[in-house]
Amino acid sequence: MIDQRLQQKLGLKLSPQQIQLMKLLMVPSAQLEQRIKEEIEVNPALEEGENGEDEIPQVQEETVAPEAETTESEAETEAAEEELKVDDEVDMSEYYDEDDEGVADYKTSDPSEFHDPDDDKKTIPVVTSSSFQEFLEEQVGMMDLDERQQQIALHLIGSLDDDGYLRREMDAIEDDLVFRQNITTNKIELQEILEQIQKLEPPGVGARSLEECLLLQLKRKEEPTVFTEIAIRIIEEHFDAFAKKHYDKLQHVFDMDSAKLKKVLNEITRLNPKPGSAYSGSRGDAQLTIIPDFILTNTNGELVISLNGSNAPELRVSGHFKEMISTYQKAKQKSKQQKEAMTFIKQKIDSAKWFIEAIQSRYHTMLLCMNTIMDIQHEYLATGDETQMQPMILKDIADRTGLDISTVSRVANSKYVQTEFGTIPLKFFFNEAMTMDTGEEISSREVKKILSDLIAVESKKKPISDQHLTEELNKRGYNIARRTVAKYREQLNIPVARLRKEL
């Protein structure tokens, strides 16, 4: 049985402008220029340029029937009139304002009175260099290999990761060569060619494990010593004890004192566990230049936040579209093609103005959030002392600004602020709250800073265990459990006490 009835329900539907703004909020300043250029390419009504002084023609309201072409039937003409009826009444004043041409005003937010226009044309220099694989391929050309062996060697080089290791199994490489290059080989031949690759620079390249990487470097030392020979034996026979820093066991096995063992270990610790990173042109060795989204200035204790918009071009509605509007206004009779063109212009102008407004809204929202963060973390931003950080979560910013938590999260994602003591990611300011014995709430950053300070001054011959760290923090009034200390230590990338031990 079919039942038809009315039903009311609530729903949330985002407008195109809201979707566009959310996407722009997630874009860091380093990528904003590229995003703007992409929009300019797809929207001819949007262009770069400064505000002009010319008046903008406006289309007056009029009712003019579209011309019927002699080749169209009367029904087609009536349909065309109905379709274009709304275009006859278009008032372009909705899209243009004599005082505001839709030019992005975020450029004028620079607090400096001496703004150099050349700053708007800054570009980020990119250094180009050959990759790590290309560096190895150049050396393969000087090896005594026939054409077939060279193809196998190049395939092996292409299978290396950024650290210079061969992580892929020989069986899989053998299958790859058959299916991709129609080369039939076997493990023996692959091993022989791999050994040739392992003789290339830098030492240790082509290793299949950390042990093999260290051994390749030790065996290639130009002036080996007695300590080098013992180091080779340690890697070959007692690598597990070396990795876990069981120094007592190594001293017993090799019958030597701590001073001699220290010299042996120095032979190993001076090696490069990632030979691929030794080459400056390695793949993945990108220019990790961080471009801050905000710039914090401290003038006698007064903090001021400004946006870094040096690479973002100014935007306006295209002047060519203004001429088209003027032409349309002067025409006594509007043809079907002209009205179709005006419909296109209306859509593109809408899109251009939406984008400009989204850029302006992006800058306003980012400044609002960053100023709120600055208010909460004022003491830390003024001094750089992590113990002065206040507990803060996304909801705190959302409550103060009236924004949604998801909006605050988008602002904080992949954004950086430049301070006098370094460039800091915005996510750094968000941290958990902890309660001291006195009932006072403190930031988890403060506990981590004290934890790292305690470990920094410990005796490396007898590092402090997590239990002793917990007891020391409890003495200072920080009510914290041992498992929490272990969690914070891991977040700081600090190993356990046994692995921090040194001779």
* 472-488 pLDDT tens trace: 888 888 888 889 889 88
The predicted model scores a pTM of 0.57
Task: Select the highest-mean-pLDDT range: 42-56, 313-327, 452-466.
Answer: 452-466
Pairwise CA distance, residues 345 & 417, whole Å: 40
Helices (H), 220-312: 226-237, 239-243, 247-254, 258-269
- CB-side neighbour CA atoms (13 Å) of 45: 24
Sign of the torsion formed by the C-alpha atoms of 24, 26, 32 and 37:
negative
Using the predicted structure, report yes or no on whether residue 295 has a pLDDT greater than 50. Answer: yes
Using the predicted structure, report yes or no on whether residue 224 has a pLDDT greater than 60. Answer: yes
Q: Determine the CATH number of domain 433-500.
A: 1.10.10.60
Tokens 């289309």 correspond to 59
Task: Select the highest-mean-pLDDT range: 48-52, 317-321, 371-375.
Answer: 371-375
Q: Worst-scoring range by mean pLDDT, 51-60, 178-187, 372-381?
A: 51-60
Given a contact cutoff of 8 angstroms between Cβ atoms, the answer to whether 159 and 168 are in contact is: yes
Pick the more confident residue, 233 or 333: 233
Please state the domain extents for the chain.
15-50+73-124+289-429, 132-278, 433-500
Average pLDDT of the residues in 21-31 = 80
Using the predicted structure, report yes or no on whether residue 90 has a pLDDT greater than 70. Answer: no
Model confidence at 13, pLDDT cuts 50, 70, 90, reads low
Cβ atoms within 10 Å of 429's Cβ, excluding its own: 22
8-state DSSP, 439: S
Using the predicted structure, report yes or no on whether residue 462 has a pLDDT greater than 70. Answer: yes
pLDDT of residue 283: 44
pLDDT of 108-125, one tens digit each?
444 444 444 444 444 445
Using the predicted structure, report yes or no on whether residue 100 has a pLDDT greater than 60. Answer: no
Given a contact cutoff of 8 angstroms between Cβ atoms, the answer to whether 177 and 186 are in contact is: no
Question: Phi then psi for 482, rounded to 5 degrees?
Answer: -65, -40
Q: Is 503 helix (H, G, I), strand (E, B) or coil?
A: coil
pLDDT of residue 7: 81
Using the predicted structure, report yes or no on whether residue 327 has a pLDDT greater than 60. Answer: yes
Tokens representing residue 169 in the block: 């199994």
* pLDDT > 70 in the chain, percent: 76
Give the chain's mean pLDDT: 78
pLDDT of residue 208: 92
Pairwise CA distance, residues 152 & 145, whole Å: 10
